[in-house]
């Protein structure tokens, strides 16, 4: 195989970069606009049935979806979170929002419908075992190994294909929120002992935001 010339290498790098949405542009203004249009809703917590089943696909990219996303941004900010899935406010739809920094402190803001996380080749699977928390398991934290790089593919609010890549903390967020829409909480990936400890932390803590009781 012949060595690529520098012009070809630059062209291929630019083509690869253009595959991914730049969700850092006007991040603060976009998040603020969503949040100010929305209304904060209480957060569902572990045990609520909507959190423990796969959510329904988004098929209507309409004003109702836009209003839901606005409410999700408002709810995320009220709960001081960095990501929120629709089922965390009781809505059975495959959409999540995020306002999350990566490990370089760069702010990413967006919404993804019908998300799927790419399977990584073995050489890209470098695990990060940092602590993880969840608005639906309030006041609890546990170490959970996840790949430190993720590509999430889905659709934007108009139904157009979109792909987002994340590293470090932001990669964890993309994986965590996609798990939610598949019916899994992060504590479902823990050992029995660590899951029990996380639930104990939740039982002993007091959420700083409104939650929906599991009656």
Higher pLDDT: 113 or 14? It is 113
Give the model's confidence band at 5: pLDDT under 50 very low, under 70 low, under 90 confident, else very high. very low
pLDDT in tens, 18-50: 589 999 999 999 999 999 999 999 999 999 999
CA distance 63 to 146: 35
Check if 28 is active-site. no
pLDDT in tens, 166-177: 999 999 999 999
What pLDDT does 17 receive? 45
85 has pLDDT over 80? yes
Kind plus residue range of the DSSP H or E element containing 142: strand 141-143
Q: What's the whole-model pTM score?
A: 0.90
Mean pLDDT over the full length of the chain: 92
Paired tokens of 153: 């593919």
Judged by DSSP in three states, 101 sits in strand
Catalytic residue among 31, 132, 165, 177: 177
pLDDT in tens, 63-73: 999 999 999 99
12 has pLDDT over 50? no
∠ CA 62-19-183, rounded to 5°: 55
């Amino acid at each position: 195989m012949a060595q690529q010339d520098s012009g070809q290498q630059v062209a291929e790098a630019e083509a690869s970069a253009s595959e991914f949405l730049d969700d850092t542009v006007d991040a603060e203004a976009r998040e603020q606009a969503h949040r100010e249009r929305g209304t904060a809703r209480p957060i569902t917590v572990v045990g609520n049935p909507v959190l423990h089943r796969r959510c329904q696909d988004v098929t209507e990219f309409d004003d109702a979806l836009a209003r839901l996303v606005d409410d999700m941004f408002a709810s995320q900010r009220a709960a001081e979170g960095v990501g929120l899935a629709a089922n965390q406010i009781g809505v059975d739809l495959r959409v999540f929002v995020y306002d999350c920094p990566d490990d370089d402190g760069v702010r990413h803001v967006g919404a993804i419908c019908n998300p799927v996380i790419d399977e990584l080749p073995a050489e890209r699977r470098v695990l990060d075992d940092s602590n993880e928390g969840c608005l639906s398991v309030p006041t609890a934290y546990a170490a959970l190994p996840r790949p430190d790089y993720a590509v999430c593919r889905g659709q934007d609010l108009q139904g157009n294909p979109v792909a987002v890549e994340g590293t470090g903390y932001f990669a964890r967020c993309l994986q965590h929120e996609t798990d939610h829409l598949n019916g899994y909480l992060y504590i479902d990936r823990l050992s029995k002992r660590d899951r029990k400890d996380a639930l104990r932390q939740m039982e002993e803590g007091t959420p700083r935001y409104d939650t929906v009781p599991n009656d």
